[in-house]
Amino acid sequence: MTHLEFLFSDSGLSTAEIESRAQALHLFETLKTDPEAFHKHMVKYIYPTIGGFDHERLLYYFTLLESYGSADFGKYAIKPETHIRLLKKLKVVASGLDYKRLTEDSADPLEALGPVLTSQNILSISKLVPKIPGRDGRMLSPSSLYTVWLQKLFWAGDPHLIKQVPESPPEWLHAFEVCAKYFDRLHPGDLITVVDAVTFSPKAVTKLPVEARKEMTSKAIKAVKHFIEKPRKRNSEEDVQEAGDSKVTYADALSHLETSLAHLGTLSHSFILSLKDSEQEILRKYSNLYDLSRSEKGKIRDQAVAMCLDGQPLGMIRQLLEVAVGPLDLSPKDIVQSAVTKVVSALSGGGADLGGPRDPLQVLEGVVAAVHASVDKG
């Protein structure tokens, strides 16, 4: 076994040369007499010497595990025979893939696959991912793979589909239209993830004009309505995967996107524009936070509480709550109560976040002053 370890790690031989040398020395005739010891040695000493990008060497390693009766030892998330099938295909269509990162328990396989996905290999790889477990132990779905690739396609382009990285509104819209052609490959929850990533991520808010984001959201709504009206036939494997992957329906996706579009419409409200165009950095920050919130109740509440802790007038907080797409069932009174609760928690050592290393008593004074000012104004 020591000689086998030398061949793998220190000999400098190619995989084909290692295979020839091992056969010439009849190493495996000896080693297969104790399959369990062989398995333990391979896992403990040989596997760590193989690089994740060396698909040929990894293929040989798993072939040995499978061939010499040692595949029954140890617990595998992926069996050696499955590794063999995966590697034979991936070494052809994804030569730059770190296979060890793809299959190790502690890694996110989708993060490993992301860098190598292209329009030329997405279909081939999507057929393989149901054999690969995610970090939660459940097998990946083709939809989850397309979710990763479509975000990459939109932001970075593709040599065959979007040859230049989009930089202008017409280019962003074209990129979105290209991506939309693959929306039928996505489960409804994943479709939401993709559209949100290109319309409500910090990157989207920074790079894309609001009108472009509105147009993209409208196109997504049109696509989802089409899926609802004319559902495509899915095979039984897809149905099983979809049931396991998501409880989100196309109706849920439609409701989500319609809220997104309504929220984008509020960005032209005079109050939001006054924040955006303010000379005060903190008010511009509020504008950005509101944009990113998508009028989600939790995010609006958090922002309003933060504004209250900053000592902002209750009238400003009331305007924020009124502009957001509702009903949110939040009032300035609710916000003040939440802010005071946070301050009390901080005073009692509860570790509540007051938006920075601030004196809780001074923060409380600011909140009380804002309330008094509001009462005085009636």
10 Å CB burial of residue 252 (0-12, 13-18, 19+) is: middle
pLDDT of residue 324: 96
The pLDDT tens digits for 334-378 are: 999 999 998 888 888 776 777 777 788 888 888 888 888 877 665
pLDDT of residue 72: 62
pLDDT of residue 314: 93
pLDDT of residue 204: 96
Q: How many residues does the chain have?
A: 378
Q: Virtual CA dihedral for 58, 60, 63, 69, nearest 10 degrees?
A: -100
Low-confidence ranges of the chain (pLDDT < 50): 236-237, 239-240, 243
pLDDT of residue 370: 87
Q: Are 48 and 41 in contact (CB under 8 A)?
A: no
Residue 109: CB atoms within 10 Å: 19
The pLDDT tens digits for 179-208 are: 999 999 999 999 999 999 999 999 999 999
